[in-house]
Amino acid sequence: MSKDLKIKIVIIFFVLLMAFLIFNKFHTKHETESNTELKTQAVFEEINQFNTAKIDKYIVYGTHLNLDGNINLPKISDISIYSVHIVAKNIEQKIELLDCTYSYKDGILTFSTADKINKGLNLENLEESNYYLFLKVIFSNSEERYYSFENTSKYTNTTYYTMSKRNKIDIKFDTFSGTKFLGLFVSEIDELPNNVYDIAIDASHGGKDTGATYKKYTEADLVLRYAKNLKKKLEDKGYKVFLSRDGSENPNQDLSDMYAENGRINTIQESHSKLMLSLNLNSANSKTGGVEIYAPTNCDLNFAKSLADNIVKKAKSSYSSVKLFKQDDGVYVRNFKDYDILNFKASAILHKYEPYTITKQTPYQYMIREVGGIATNAFVDGRNTSYGKNKYFDSNVGIEAYILELGYMKTPKDLNNILKNEDLYVQAIVDAIETYATAK
């Protein structure tokens, strides 16, 4: 064989080998694609093709997805509804089942995933997979029916980033072979996008606002110390933490406009955090002092309770003796009272603007209310006409927000403890967050 021929044979061999490899790769890829397609088809198999449930409100608050909706289900003779659930089924046919609260009237079934704003479908617990959400209705004759969802809310698709592991979840309304659906597409990521954080820590006051003062101490300085320490300890655990201020602000700066471009409400909202803890010290006089955790209205209080308990046990603190707004030892929920609502209206009339829709279900504290989006009834604060506008008041993605009154500045027992046992307080808070973020 000539040398030329040998080279030709070798080249032809390599070309054939490459062609085979490319074909093979394409073929396997094609096969996995059609495999996923088949698996997805299987998920949709039991779905009622003639009727869909309408989602008229969906909220991502903290770590949970909440759905409110309705479906037209004409009554059939004496058959009644036995139970209503939301099912999240992934393509491996693994199912998450959620009980719904519901009511049935005039052929319309109205349902909601949770009675508390921080409950519903826990997005932290989903595995890397594609989930499809359906309404499962069980009738009194034991018949089960599944309905897919269509979006009739004004909110569009959104993306959620988990805080306990690095997952990205696309919350997406779409169609599959002509069937409208709500899907949760979970994929692993290496790193959070630049503008996305897990937890926001608000060091309250700052700039020319010192907050409570006692002797040479100011609330603004003390909570900043705590906030930085907390940030560090949470980062050591792998969380990405946003600080509302880091002490670099000018001491004459006025930070009171929460809704300014770089104000607290907007910057915290833009951090896309799941949790927000606002650190404060109480300025009131108290013989006994102690810790007070303020939680949102209509909220499951387990996390607030765990914050209070941890601080009391691990930081040698005590529960506040304050009775007003108290829900449990160390746990408080402050809503608007009738006199607050009257004051708001009077102020609106005085300053010639529309009074906001405030009910006794609206959280009183602005940090809790305003970073919570529609879940907490956020609105443009009417108490001060020099304030700007909360750009996020109508957002269906809200941050689960708490106010931590760590102790009373003028109560020697509390102040000494806060000065001496900073690490214990901070560790107590970190422990509560860890438990909450990884809860099933």
Which residues here bind Zn ion, judged by CB under 5 A? 204, 211, 280
257: part of which helix (H) or strand (E)?
Answer: none
- Shortest approach of Zn ion to residue 197 CB, angstroms? 22
Q: Which amino acid is at 324?
A: L
Look-up of token digits 């007003």: 324
Nearer to Zn ion (CB atom), residue 84 or residue 415? 415
Q: Number of helices (H) and strands (E), helices first, in the chain?
A: 8, 22
- Shortest approach of Zn ion to residue 388 CB, angstroms? 21
Query: 217: which DSSP letter?
Result: E
For 287, counting Cβ atoms within 10 Å of its Cβ (0-12 exposed, 13-18 middle, 19+ buried), the class is exposed
Nearer to Zn ion (CB atom), residue 130 or residue 204? 204
Nearer to Zn ion (CB atom), residue 109 or residue 279? 279
Q: Give all strands (DSSP E) within 248-287, no chain letters.
A: 275-282
- Shortest approach of Zn ion to residue 253 CB, angstroms? 17
Structure tokens belonging to residue 223: 């909570």
- Shortest approach of Zn ion to residue 205 CB, angstroms? 6
- Shortest approach of Zn ion to residue 365 CB, angstroms? 10
Structure tokens belonging to residue 204: 């309250």
- Shortest approach of Zn ion to residue 222 CB, angstroms? 10
Structure tokens belonging to residue 302: 């387990």
Q: Are strands 81-90 and 95-99 parallel, antiparallel or unpaired?
A: antiparallel
Nearer to Zn ion (CB atom), residue 283 or residue 421? 283
Q: How far apart are alpha carbons 297 and 377 in whole angstroms?
A: 10
Query: For residue 40, how many other CB atoms are within 10 A of its CB?
Result: 17
Using alpha carbons, select from 91, 111, 109, 93 the residue that is nearest to residue 101: 111
Nearer to Zn ion (CB atom), residue 199 or residue 212? 212
Nearer to Zn ion (CB atom), residue 330 or residue 407? 407
- Shortest approach of Zn ion to residue 366 CB, angstroms? 12
Q: How far apart are alpha carbons 350 and 316 in whole angstroms?
A: 47
- Shortest approach of Zn ion to residue 216 CB, angstroms? 18
Nearer to Zn ion (CB atom), residue 123 or residue 279? 279
347 CB contacts (<8 Å, ≥6 apart)? 382, 383
Q: How far apart are alpha carbons 220 and 206 in whole angstroms?
A: 5
Nearer to Zn ion (CB atom), residue 125 or residue 286? 286
- Shortest approach of Zn ion to residue 323 CB, angstroms? 21
Using alpha carbons, select from 203, 224, 199, 160 the residue that is nearest to residue 434: 199
Nearer to Zn ion (CB atom), residue 62 or residue 211? 211
Q: With beta carbons less than 8 A apart as the criterion, state whether 130 and 91 touch.
A: yes
CA angle 126, 294, 208 (to 5 degrees): 110
Q: With beta carbons less than 8 A apart as the criterion, state whether 280 and 219 touch.
A: yes
Q: How far apart are alpha carbons 278 and 370 in whole angstroms?
A: 13
- Shortest approach of Zn ion to residue 315 CB, angstroms? 19
Nearer to Zn ion (CB atom), residue 102 or residue 364? 364
Q: With beta carbons less than 8 A apart as the criterion, state whether 251 and 374 touch.
A: no
Q: Give the residue closest to Zn ion by C-beta.
A: 280
- Shortest approach of Zn ion to residue 304 CB, angstroms? 18
Nearer to Zn ion (CB atom), residue 196 or residue 258? 258
